[in-house]
């Protein structure tokens, strides 16, 4: 651990797993599509790709990606969320760990895609963002992708104000050797315009 509680833990006390899962169950039952992130990632991947779901929560996205034929590993610092993931998909790999110290988990370094959805980046412990991006970049194969989704204003965050700007995030990516490839305003691929409250970003690791 980093010694600092992440913002998610401050909000939930680390006991949000069941309630979080129930929220998405209700959304699905109401007819809403809860698999936008998985569909977005699959469009970027070749069949049977290796995916790291960083901040996987209850495993909703990783489980769907596995159903679509990809090989998924989920990592989260919240044991209550992982308990749900392990119950729902016991054959997938679920790891308890701090994203700022992924190297301590002994992960392979040939993932085709690392995903940090669900406001993972804004909810990191303060001052750990650059380290987390470095760790995520380090597990990607040459040409691998980092896909992130994050709120940029209070309306798109469970916080009173944003904790990171896109300029700061892109700088962390640049320092980690990643280049911005695409940016959208939603997981449906709506165009991103300056001032949008949400950003889905695709950064890539060089092929050589």
Minimal CA–CA distance to 109: which of 25, 27, 58, 50? 50
| Residues 70/48, Cβ–Cβ less than 8 Å | yes
pLDDT at position 4: 43
The helix/strand/coil state of 148 is strand
3-state helix, strand, coil in the chain (%, to 5): 35, 25, 40
How many angstroms separate the CA atoms of 75 and 193, rounded? 31
What is the tens place of the pLDDT at every residue in 71-123? 999 999 999 999 999 999 999 999 999 999 999 999 989 999 999 998 999 99
pLDDT at position 54: 97
Domains of the chain, earliest start first:
7-25+32-204 (3.40.50.150)
Which two tokens mark 116?
């940090």
Instruction: State the pTM of this model.
Output: 0.87
- What are the residues facing 42 on neighbouring strands? none
pLDDT at position 117: 95
Tens of each residue's pLDDT in the chain, 208 residues: 333 446 555 555 555 655 655 665 666 667 776 579 999 999 999 999 999 999 999 999 999 999 999 999 999 999 999 999 999 999 999 999 999 999 999 998 999 999 999 899 999 999 999 999 999 999 999 999 999 999 999 999 988 899 999 999 999 999 999 999 999 999 999 999 998 999 999 999 999 7
The helix/strand/coil state of 134 is helix
């Amino acid at each position: 651990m980093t010694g600092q509680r992440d913002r998610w833990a401050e909000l939930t006390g680390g006991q949000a797993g069941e309630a979080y899962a129930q929220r998405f169950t209700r959304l699905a039952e109401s007819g809403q599509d809860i698999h936008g992130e998985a569909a977005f990632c699959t469009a970027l991947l070749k069949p049977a790709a290796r995916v790291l779901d960083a901040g996987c929560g209850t495993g909703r996205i990783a489980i769907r990606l596995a159903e679509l034929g990809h090989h998924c590993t989920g990592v989260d610092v919240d044991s209550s969320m992982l308990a749900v993931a392990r119950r729902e998909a016991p054959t997938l790999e679920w790891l308890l760990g701090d994203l700022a110290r992924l190297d301590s988990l002994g992960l392979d370094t040939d993932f085709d895609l690392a995903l940090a959805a669900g406001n993972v980046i804004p909810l990191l412990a303060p001052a750990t963002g650059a380290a987390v991006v470095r760790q995520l970049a380090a597990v990607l194969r040459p040409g691998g992708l980092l896909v992130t989704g994050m709120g940029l204003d209070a309306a798109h965050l469970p916080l009173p104000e944003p904790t990171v700007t896109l300029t700061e995030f892109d700088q962390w990516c640049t320092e980690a050797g990643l280049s911005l490839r695409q940016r959208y305003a939603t997981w449906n691929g709506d165009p991103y315009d300056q001032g949008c409250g949400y950003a889905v970003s695709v950064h890539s690791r060089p092929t050589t």
